Amino acid sequence: MSEVRVNNLSNENNTGGPTISGITTYSGRHFFVPPQGDTASRPSDCEPGSLRFNTDSAKLEYFRGNTIGWTEIEAELTAPLGGGTGSNIGRGYRGIHTPGSTPASGTSTNIDFITLSTLGNAQDFGDLSQGRRLQQHASSRTRDVIGGGYGPSTTDTIDFVTIASTGNATDFGNLSVARYGHGALSNQIRGVWSGQDGGNVMDYVTIAATGNAVDFGDCTIGYLQRGLGNTTRGLWLGSEGPTAGTNNTIHQITIMTTGDSTDFGDLSYGRGGWGGGSNAIRGIMMGGAPNSGNNRTNVCDFITIATLGNAIDFGDLSSDMMGYRSSGCASPTRAVKMGGYNPSYAAGANTICFVEIASLGNPIDFGDTLSLSGDCGANSNGHGGL
Q: What is the mean pLDDT of residues 34-61?
A: 83
Contact 343, 296 (CB under 8 A): yes
Q: What is the pLDDT of residue 308?
A: 97
pLDDT band at 102; cut points 50, 70, 90: low
Q: Tens digits of per-residue pLDDT, 279-304?
A: 999 999 999 988 876 678 999 999 99
Query: What's the CA gap between 171 and 49, in Å, rounded?
Result: 39
What is the model's pLDDT at position 148? 96
Closest CA to 369 of 343, 384, 347: 347
Q: How far apart are CA 184 and CA 182, in angstroms?
A: 7
Domain boundaries in the chain? 36-72, 86-379
Close Cβ partners of 370 (under 8 Å, ≥ 6 residues apart)? 99, 110, 112, 121, 122, 123, 124, 350
pLDDT of residue 295: 78
Average pLDDT over residues 315-337: 93
pLDDT at 186 over 50: yes
Q: How many CB atoms lie within 10 A of CB 40?
A: 9
Contact (CB, 8 A) for 114 and 138? no
Would you state the pLDDT for residue 62? 87
Q: What pTM value is reported for the model?
A: 0.83
pLDDT band for 79, please (50, 70, 90 cuts). Answer: low
Specify burial of residue 88 (Cβ count, 10 A radius: 0-12, 13-18, 19+).
buried
Question: Where residue 77 falls among pLDDT bands split at 50, 70, 90?
Answer: very low
User: Span 86-379: which CATH code?
Assistant: 2.120.10.80
Based on its alpha-carbon atoms, the radius of gyration of the chain, rounded to whole angstroms, reads 21
Residue 33 neighbours by CB under 8 Å, 6+ apart: none
Mean pLDDT of the chain: 89
pLDDT greater than 60 at residue 7: yes
Q: Express each pLDDT in 215-226 by its tens digit.
A: 999 998 778 899
Q: What is the pLDDT of residues 13-45, one digit of tens each?
A: 777 677 777 777 777 777 778 889 887 788 888
pLDDT at 294: 66
Give phi and psi for 135, each to the nearest 5.
Answer: -90, 160
For residue 244, what pLDDT is reported?
61
Distance CA 341, CA 334 (A): 23
Query: Which of residues 203 and 344 earns the better pLDDT score?
Result: 203
Residue 41 has what pLDDT? 85
CA 331/CA 346 separation, integer angstroms: 31
pLDDT band at 57 (very low <50, low <70, confident <90, very high): low
* Listed residue (121, 167, 128) closest to 148, CA to CA: 128
**pLDDT of 78 strictly over 60:** no
